[in-house]
């Protein structure tokens, strides 16, 4: 299903929690706790998302069609039936990309004014 | 973990069932990772706040979603939305408007700081537990007591304002310095009274009410220092009270100091002061009562003559003030409040019924949502959001209805309480409206929501709805309840209208058409002197009689109907009173009171001739029955009077009260110093042409005789109308309520039967196909409507009679179980249900069997 630009733009800018969750799900389907751990690892422990924030975001993101609960489960020995796995949708990916583009653009603007460090 | 599970209950059920297990799981892992007690405590604290914030957010998300959904749904069915909002707006509007008055009358604390510490002190005499206080007793209480932060005495004291246009009579009060202090209110401008102002010969000072200051001086602060002439003295304006200050009643526009000449009056039997006190923070009413008892005993000991067995009663100021509102006025408002609740009840049942129908229409949608995994609780919540949204929209509209209707009810609001005119734009009233709105929303939303959702589940299992039997039963109950409530209102309203008619039909004993009355200030100085009064009469009466169109004119002490007092003993017997009026010749002709026997009073009946009297027929029956009354004598008002004439009975104490026998004495035989009440001061003029055109000329004639005289001109028709004004408004409002409820009940019946017919179309089609006649079908439809009506009627008649019994004090003797009222209420209800049944019935008999069968 083609992704409509206006639908993507309507969701921007994304709340930080939403962006983090999308990023966490970009490379693999994960369950809730794994998402928290992934975010924590990627931010060197800076951001420790609470369960409440996570699931409230997940609920809203499911309604917005950014992620879905997946039926595919990992191998039984890794699985825990209390867990639910989430998967990013094509729409979710498009939104995450658009948000990344927007953030890059902002950083560029900031650099041009000398208020953000050049990293190379 | 149990604590965590409890915390999870802060989330909506749908969220909890969806994510609760996982959240619990994540928390338990964190809990295991936290090894030190400090870390555990930190985890709990952060979790607690995190859940608090997030749960609120999730609730908000759900609410927003539901609101959006509801708004879309309502926009799709504007007819339903509009009906529902109007119905609820009328219900809430009626209640809010009535509440604004009820609140002042019964509930609201007095508008003074820490008003629970304000008490009223009464003398407790053998005659009455709550008697006013004599000035010397008050002064002793004030001096000897230590339970009060401050104490003050006051008495209602009206005054005539001169020098600003026509002389005007204004309501006011005389207060000691302690009154404002006890009430805890400072003037907005200037100062309040100090003890120097109370000295007997101190220069006159006056404090004005905010309303009077605004109306008379346009809110000009330069009013301070201005001189105003009240009665025969000049007063300097020293202060203006704040806008919210009213005391002791709404009608007090100015306050003068209660000067020492009044408070030092040494007569301990002259009780006329009211006393207000503010208890010290540490003192309870019981303690104050105990102290005052000791003081009262000491006073009794020192002055046994006037204080035998007397004590002090202390009661809350709010209660005392409210107690003085006549019981009938209180009942009037309580009845109105009951009626408005009845209207709201009908509105809610009506809406519940509407919502049920809507639930059925939306069953498919709900079924789909249930099938897609929406929990029952989630659906109920959404439906409740919808009814609450309707209620809130209706509530907002209702507040506007209330704002518009409060002025119409203002006649019913008692002026005897220290509050401003009631208004709907008042925080307490608005909170009440909000509360009512929420309750109404839940009341009419809850049952239909629960029903629809359980039906949704059931229907998910079946293809065709089979749940309508129970639901229809519920709707029938709702409709029957509406019929019941509207019959209760109809009966009460009809009783009140009959009471009104009865009062309006009362023959006052005189003719009110083309009679104008002019109230003069002849009782007061400078006319206290008899000669001055007689001069005035002999100048004014001939001039007024000479006006073209005037048939006759006369002076009398007190108008019939108007005053309750003026009762004197006949032949010295205590319980045998007759009302006394001094009249000038022609009074009976002016009022149209027939002279049955003998003659009128004449100008020749003076203090130099034998004392004579005219008496009413009721007087003759009571005191001189069986003999020719003319020439009989009786002792009355300090003299032996000879009866020279007998006149018809009149109502002296208002239309609704029985009257004592009446005695009329010639005005030239009044004592040299006659009491204010008895001094002839009311000019009564009858004209042979329509009276309205004569009023200016009469007014000018009297004013010419004394340009400074305060005059109040009214036609007798106005006086009689004013007697029933409150009742007219009350019956009107109740009538509007009854009409509204009847209409709503009609809509309810119509809705139910329409639904019923549409559900039974196939059955009806089948019946027609099998040979049922139109009459059979009609009978079938009307049978149900008749059943509903008769159940509603029976209950309504019982409850309506109970309501009638409750308000019997308002019924002016109409029997609470009044056949015409009952019959007309039942008749109207039957007519209304018949109308409501008409359209569904027409639809049923137009059913084409072929079409219906095909649809099946």
Report whether B63 contacts B385 (CB < 8 A).
yes
The H-assigned helical ranges of B605-658 are: 617-623
Which residues in B lie closer than 8 A to residue A63 (C-beta atoms)? 65
CA B543 – CA B589 distance, rounded (Å): 18
pLDDT tens digits, B668-723 = 888 877 777 788 888 999 998 888 888 889 988 988 888 878 788 889 888 888 88
SS (H, E, C) B400-452: HHHHHHHHHHHHHCCCCCCCCCCCCCCHHHHHHHHHHHHHHHHHHHHHHHHHH
Look up residue B51 and give its DSSP letter.
Answer: H
Q: Can you give the pLDDT at residue B676?
A: 72
Nearest chain A Cα distance for residue B373, angstroms: 14
Mean pLDDT of A108-115: 88
Crossing angle of helices A32-42 and A51-64, in 10° steps, is 110
Cα–chain-centroid distance for residue B639? 46
Residue predicted with more confidence, B139 or B443: B139
CA B666 – CA B661 distance, rounded (Å): 17
> Among residues B501, B497, B589, which one has the least CA distance to residue B545?
B589
What interface predicted TM-score (ipTM) does this complex get?
A: 0.79
Query: What are the tokens at A92?
Result: 């979710």
Measured between its terminal Cα atoms, the distance across chain A in Å is 38
Mean pLDDT of B110-129: 87
Residue predicted with more confidence, B398 or B357: B398
Instruction: Reduce the DSSP state of residue B506 to 3 states and report it.
Output: coil
Nearest chain A Cα distance for residue B436, angstroms: 33
Half-sphere exposure of B176 (CA within 13 A, CB side): 21
Number of neighbours of residue B328 by Cβ within 10 angstroms: 13
Mean residue pLDDT across chain B: 84
CA B25 – CA B210 distance, rounded (Å): 67
Rg, C-alpha atoms of chain A? 16
Report whether B757 contacts B782 (CB < 8 A).
no
pLDDT tens digits, A12-49 = 888 989 999 999 998 888 888 889 889 989 888 888 88
Report whether A37 contacts A83 (CB < 8 A).
no
Report whether B140 contacts B299 (CB < 8 A).
yes
Q: Averaging pLDDT over each range in B52-61, B81-90, B572-581, which range is the top one?
A: B52-61
Which residues in A lie closer than 8 A to residue B23 (C-beta atoms)? 32, 51-52, 55
- Res B375 pLDDT > 80: no
Mean pLDDT of B778-804: 86
Q: Can you give the pLDDT at residue B464?
A: 47
Which stretches of chain B sit within 8 Å of chain A by CB? 15, 18-19, 21-23, 25-27, 29, 46-47, 50-51, 53-55, 57-58, 61, 65
Q: Can you give the pLDDT at residue B466?
A: 46
Half-sphere exposure of A64 (CA within 13 A, CB side): 24
CA B756 – CA B356 distance, rounded (Å): 13
Mean pLDDT of B484-501: 87
Look up residue B130 and give its DSSP letter.
Answer: S
Beta-bridge partner residues of A31:
A85
Query: What are the tokens at B22?
Result: 């996982």
Nearest chain A Cα distance for residue B48, angstroms: 10
Q: Can you give the pLDDT at residue B463?
A: 47
Identify the closest residue of chain A to B7 by CA–CA distance.
A52
Report whether B782 contacts B839 (CB < 8 A).
no
Q: Would you state the torsion angle of the CA atoms of residues B207, B213, B216, B217, taken in this order, to the nearest 10 degrees?
A: 110
Nearest chain A Cα distance for residue B23, angstroms: 6
Number of neighbours of residue B815 by Cβ within 10 angstroms: 14
Q: Give the A:B interface size as CB pairs under 8 Å.
A: 53
Cis peptide before A13 (omega within 30 of 0): yes
- Element holding B196 (H helix, E strand): none
The pLDDT-based confidence of B167 (bands split at 50, 70, 90) is confident
- Res B265 pLDDT > 70: no
Number of neighbours of residue B60 by Cβ within 10 angstroms: 10
Nearest chain A Cα distance for residue B47, angstroms: 8
Mean pLDDT of B622-630: 89
Whole-angstrom CA distances from B493 to B496, B499, B743, B794 are: 5, 10, 15, 18
CA B28 – CA B22 distance, rounded (Å): 10
Whole-prediction pTM value?
A: 0.73
- Res B855 pLDDT > 60: yes
CB nearest A82 (choices: B15, B22, B47): B22
Rg, C-alpha atoms of chain B? 36
- Res B359 pLDDT > 80: no
Per mean pLDDT, which range of B157-166, B283-292, B495-504, B629-638 is the poorest?
B157-166
Q: How many helices (H) and strands (E) does chain A have?
A: 5, 3
CB nearest A33 (choices: B26, B53, B61): B26
Per mean pLDDT, which range of B42-51, B440-449, B536-545 is the poorest?
B440-449
Look up residue B105 and give its DSSP letter.
Answer: I
Half-sphere exposure of B617 (CA within 13 A, CB side): 11
- Res B548 pLDDT > 70: yes
Q: Which residue has the tokens 């206290």?
A: B528
Whole-angstrom CA distances from B328 to B412, B738, B812 are: 11, 21, 11
Report whether B238 contacts B101 (CB < 8 A).
no
Q: Which residue has the tokens 């509801």?
A: B70
**CA B512, B514, B518 angle in degrees (round to 5)?**
85
Task: Write out the E strands in B17-143.
Answer: 118-124
Q: Can you give the pLDDT at residue A2?
A: 66
Whole-angstrom CA distances from B624 to B139, B173, B530, B835 are: 49, 45, 32, 63
CB nearest B54 (choices: A32, A52, A63): A52
Number of neighbours of residue B708 by Cβ within 10 angstroms: 13
**In chain B, what percentage of residues exceed pLDDT 70?**
95
- Res B651 pLDDT > 70: yes
CA B77 – CA B83 distance, rounded (Å): 10
Identify the closest residue of chain B to A55 by CA–CA distance.
B19
Whole-angstrom CA distances from B605 to B254, B554, B585 are: 43, 15, 10
Query: For B571-598, b where at least 16 C-beta lie within 10 A, e where not — what string?
Result: eeeeeeebbbbbbbbbbbbbbbbeeebb
- Element holding B205 (H helix, E strand): strand B205-208
Do the chains contact at A33 and B57, CB–CB below 8 Å?
no
- Res B816 pLDDT > 90: no
Q: In degrees rounded to 5, what are phi and psi of residue B537?
A: -60, -45
CA A62 – CA A89 distance, rounded (Å): 10
pLDDT tens digits, B5-52 = 888 888 888 888 888 888 888 888 888 888 888 888 888 888 889 889
């Amino acid at each position: 299903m083609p992704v409509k630009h206006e639908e993507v733009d309507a969701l921007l800018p994304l709340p930080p929690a939403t962006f983090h969750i999308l990023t966490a799900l970009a490379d693999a389907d994960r369950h809730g706790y794994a998402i928290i751990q992934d975010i924590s690892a990627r931010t060197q422990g800076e951001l420790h998302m609470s369960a409440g924030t996570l699931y409230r975001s997940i609920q809203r993101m499911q309604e917005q069609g950014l992620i879905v609960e997946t039926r595919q489960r990992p191998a039984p020995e890794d699985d825990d039936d209390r867990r639910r796995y989430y998967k990013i949708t094509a729409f979710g990916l498009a939104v995450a990309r658009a948000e990344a583009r927007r953030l890059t653009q902002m950083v560029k603007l900031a650099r041009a004014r000398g208020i953000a460090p050049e990293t190379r | 973990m149990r604590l965590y599970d409890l915390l999870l209950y802060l989330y909506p059920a749908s969220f909890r069932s969806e994510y609760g297990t996982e959240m619990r799981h994540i928390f338990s892992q964190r809990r295991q990772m936290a090894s030190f007690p400090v870390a555990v405590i930190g985890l709990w604290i952060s979790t607690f706040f995190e859940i608090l914030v997030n749960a609120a957010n999730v609730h908000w998300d759900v609410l927003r979603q539901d609101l959006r959904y509801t708004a879309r749904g309502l926009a799709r069915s504007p007819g339903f939305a509009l009906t529902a909002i109007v119905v609820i707006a009328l219900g809430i509007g009626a209640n809010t408007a009535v509440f604004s008055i009820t609140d002042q009358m019964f509930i609201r604390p007095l508008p003074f700081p820490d008003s629970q510490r304000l008490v009223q002190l009464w003398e407790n005499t053998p005659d009455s537990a709550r008697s006013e206080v004599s000035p010397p007793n008050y002064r002793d209480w004030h001096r000897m007591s230590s339970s009060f932060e401050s104490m003050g005495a006051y008495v209602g004291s009206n005054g005539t304002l001169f020098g600003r246009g026509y002389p005007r009579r204004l309501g006011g009060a005389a207060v000691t310095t302690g009154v404002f202090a006890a009430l805890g209110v400072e003037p907005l401008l200037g100062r309040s009274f100090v003890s120097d102002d109370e000295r007997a010969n101190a220069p006159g000072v006056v404090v004005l009410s905010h309303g009077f200051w605004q109306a008379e001086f346009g809110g000009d602060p330069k009013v301070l220092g201005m001189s105003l002439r009240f009665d025969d003295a000049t007063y300097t304006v020293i202060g203006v009270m704040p806008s919210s200050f009213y005391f002791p009643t709404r009608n007090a526009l100015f306050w003068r100091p209660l000067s020492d000449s009044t408070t030092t009056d040494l007569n301990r039997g002259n009780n006329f002061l009211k006393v207000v006190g503010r208890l010290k923070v540490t003192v309870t009413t019981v303690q104050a009562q105990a102290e005052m008892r000791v003081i009262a005993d000491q006073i009794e000991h020192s002055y046994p003559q006037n204080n035998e067995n007397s004590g002090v009663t202390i009661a809350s100021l709010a209660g005392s003030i409210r107690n003085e509102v006549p019981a009938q006025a209180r009942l009037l408002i309580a009845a109105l409040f009951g009626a408005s609740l009845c209207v709201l009840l009908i509105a809610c049942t009506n809406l519940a019924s509407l919502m049920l129908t809507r639930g059925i229409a939306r069953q498919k949608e709900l079924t789909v949502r249930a099938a897609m995994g929406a929990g029952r609780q989630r659906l109920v919540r959404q439906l409740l959001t919808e009814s609450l949204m309707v209620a809130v929209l209706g509530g907002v509209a209702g507040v506007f209805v209330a704002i518009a209707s409060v002025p119409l009810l203002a006649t019913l609001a008692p002026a005897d309480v220290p509050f401003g005119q009631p208004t709907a734009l008042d925080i307490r009233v608005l909170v009440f409206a909000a509360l009512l709105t929420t309750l109404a929303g839940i009341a009419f939303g809850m049952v239909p929501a629960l029903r629809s959702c359980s039906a949704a589940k059931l229907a998910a299992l079946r293809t065709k709805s089979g749940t309508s039997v129970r639901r229809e039963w519920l709707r029938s109950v709702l409709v029957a309840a509406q019929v019941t409530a509207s019959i209760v209102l109809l009966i009460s309203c009809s009783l009140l209208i009959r009471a009104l008619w009865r009062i309006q039909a009362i023959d006052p004993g005189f003719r009110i058409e083309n009679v104008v009355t002019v109230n003069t200030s002849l009782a007061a100085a400078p006319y206290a002197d008899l000669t001055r009064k007689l001069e005035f009469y002999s100048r004014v009466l001939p001039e007024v009689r000479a006006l073209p169109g005037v048939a006759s004119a006369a002076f009398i002490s007190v108008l019939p109907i108007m005053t309750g007092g003026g009762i004197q003993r006949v032949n010295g017997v205590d319980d045998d009173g007759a009302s006394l009026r001094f009249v000038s010749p022609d009074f009976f002709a002016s009022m149209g009171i027939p002279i049955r026997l003998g003659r009128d009073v004449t100008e020749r009946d003076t203090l130099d001739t034998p004392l004579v009297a005219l008496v009413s027929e009721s007087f003759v029956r009571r005191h001189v029955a069986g003999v020719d009354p003319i020439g009989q004598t009786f002792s009355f008002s300090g003299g032996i009077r000879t009866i020279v004439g007998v006149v018809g009975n009149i109502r002296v104490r208002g239309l609704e009260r029985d009257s004592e026998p009446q005695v009329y004495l010639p005005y030239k035989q009044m004592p040299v110093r006659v009491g204010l009440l008895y001094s002839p001061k009311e000019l009564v003029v009858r004209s042979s042409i329509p009276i309205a055109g004569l009023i200016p000329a009469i007014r000018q004639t009297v004013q010419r005789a004394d340009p400074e005289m305060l005059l109040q001109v009214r036609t007798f028709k106005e006086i009689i109308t004013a007697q029933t004004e409150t009742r007219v408004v009350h019956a009107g409002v109740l009538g509007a309520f009854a009409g509204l409820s009847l209409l709503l009940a009609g809509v309810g019946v119509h809705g139910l039967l329409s639904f019923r017919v549409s559900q039974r179309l196939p059955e009806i089609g089948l019946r027609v196909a099998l040979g049922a006649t139109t009459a059979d079908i009609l009978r079938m439809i009307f049978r149900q409507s008749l059943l509903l009506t008769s159940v509603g009627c029976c209950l309504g008649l019982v409850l309506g009679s109970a309501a009638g019994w409750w308000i019997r004090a308002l019924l002016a003797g109409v029997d609470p179980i009044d056949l015409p009222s009952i019959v007309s209420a039942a008749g109207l209800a039957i007519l209304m249900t018949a109308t409501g049944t008409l359209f569904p019935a027409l639809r049923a008999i137009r059913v084409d069997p072929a079409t219906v069968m095909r649809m099946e």
